[in-house]
Amino acid sequence: MTTTANDSVRLLVESLAIYSPTTKETEFASFLADKLKSLGYSKVHLDRAGNVIGDVGKGRTRLLLCGHMDTVPGRLPVRKTKEAVYGRGAADAKSPLCALLVAGAEAADSGVRITFAGVTEEEGDGAGIEQLIKSGQKFDYAVFGEPSGADRLTIGYRGRVSLHLTVRTQGGHAGSPWAHRSAFDEFTSVMAKLRAYERSKAVEGDYFRSLSLSPTLVRAGSYQNVVPGLCEATLDLRLPPSIKSSAAVRQIRAIAEAPGDGVEVRLTAGAPTEAYEADPGSTLVRAFQRAIILSLKARPRLVRKTGTGDMNTFARREGADCLTYGPAPSASSHTDGEMVEIRDYLGSIEVVKEAVSQLAAIGPRGTG
């Protein structure tokens, strides 16, 4: 099915008009289901996690095109100019999602069996990608929609673990702080030790290869004239491919929970997401590189990002060739200035279509 440029832009604008922060994707999923049907996708349905799934095309080669429907919280006005579209999700990640959806429909006759998945809670606990994995579908290749720019391919993401740190002391009267240990002060002492650990795992000039540890939520104290006896903090741990989450958590716990007189420190860790880096010479990466050259007349660039995405979870557990691709500048993600250039958005659709044609010529993995 052929979709005009105006239709593709209209789809994006209409998508941005539907506010869909994490766990509140239902309205957008229903909207996408209708669009999938109108664009020729079959077997369109919503699964247990609220993902919207549809198939198009035929062939032995199986390709997953996966974008996430949720955005970070915070409504933004939707605005379209001649050059760009603005709004919450314009970058992360409704423009990549819409580009994959349209490209899949237009590649229906390519000889590749394509499954489109709009998944839930990528910005949260990843419930959508977990359900997609549980469905048992197998793919030769998988492309995940995230912003990087139409001429860039993201082949790596760092891993992530959410840490919860609890510091307890006796506390006491703020009028005599010398006589009482402050849980907040002890927390800052622990963080100073963890900063030294962070520096020991840094690779100069390469954030992707470095470990980082960021306090994102900190709460201490119970009253204005009481020295805090409790401090709780959430720490965001990001990991390069060279460091396993289990090793990092074990080392951080040993540092944080080192014995101290009158101080109790406990560290717990959430479910980890390991780092992932695709083979730059993989069939999928080469197909997209050729597609960028042919469609955009541009030199493709490979990107390794310091964040974490659904690709990490899927690639490590499913074994498919994976990469992440999509229009829009990554720098505008999660900001009040989220935007995508229309030229970049439309160009990315052409790149995905051409990449599908390249994969059709190559065939399923292991047959080339």
Domain that holds residue 60: 5-157+275-362
Is 350 within a domain? yes
Final residue in a domain of this structure, among 246, 269, 292: 269
If asked whether residues 191 and 313 sit together in one domain, one would say no
The pLDDT value recorded for residue 368 is 46
Is 367 within a domain? no
The pLDDT value recorded for residue 1 is 65
The pLDDT value recorded for residue 366 is 54
Q: Is the pLDDT of residue 138 over 60?
A: yes
CATH assignment of the domain containing 316: 3.40.630.10
Summarised one tens digit per residue, pLDDT across range 248-300 is: 999 999 999 987 788 999 999 999 999 999 999 999 999 999 999 999 999 99
Q: Is the pLDDT of residue 243 over 60?
A: yes
The pLDDT value recorded for residue 326 is 97
Q: Is the pLDDT of residue 127 over 80?
A: yes
If asked whether residues 21 and 132 sit together in one domain, one would say yes
Summarised one tens digit per residue, pLDDT across range 143-166 is: 999 999 999 999 999 999 999 999
Summarised one tens digit per residue, pLDDT across range 36-58 is: 999 999 999 999 999 999 999 99
Q: Is the pLDDT of residue 367 over 70?
A: no
- This prediction's pTM: 0.90
Q: Is the pLDDT of residue 3 over 50?
A: yes
Final residue in a domain of this structure, among 238, 269, 300: 269
Number of domains in the chain: 2
Q: Is the pLDDT of residue 86 over 80?
A: yes
Q: Is the pLDDT of residue 109 over 60?
A: yes
Q: Is the pLDDT of residue 136 over 80?
A: yes
The pLDDT value recorded for residue 255 is 97
Final residue in a domain of this structure, among 214, 241, 269: 269
The pLDDT value recorded for residue 22 is 97
Angle made by CA atoms 276, 337, 99, in degrees to the nearest 5? 55
The pLDDT value recorded for residue 2 is 74
d(C-alpha 349, C-alpha 324), whole Å: 14
If asked whether residues 21 and 150 sit together in one domain, one would say yes
User: pLDDT averaged over the chain?
Assistant: 95
CATH assignment of the domain containing 196: 3.30.70.360
Q: Is the pLDDT of residue 13 over 80?
A: yes
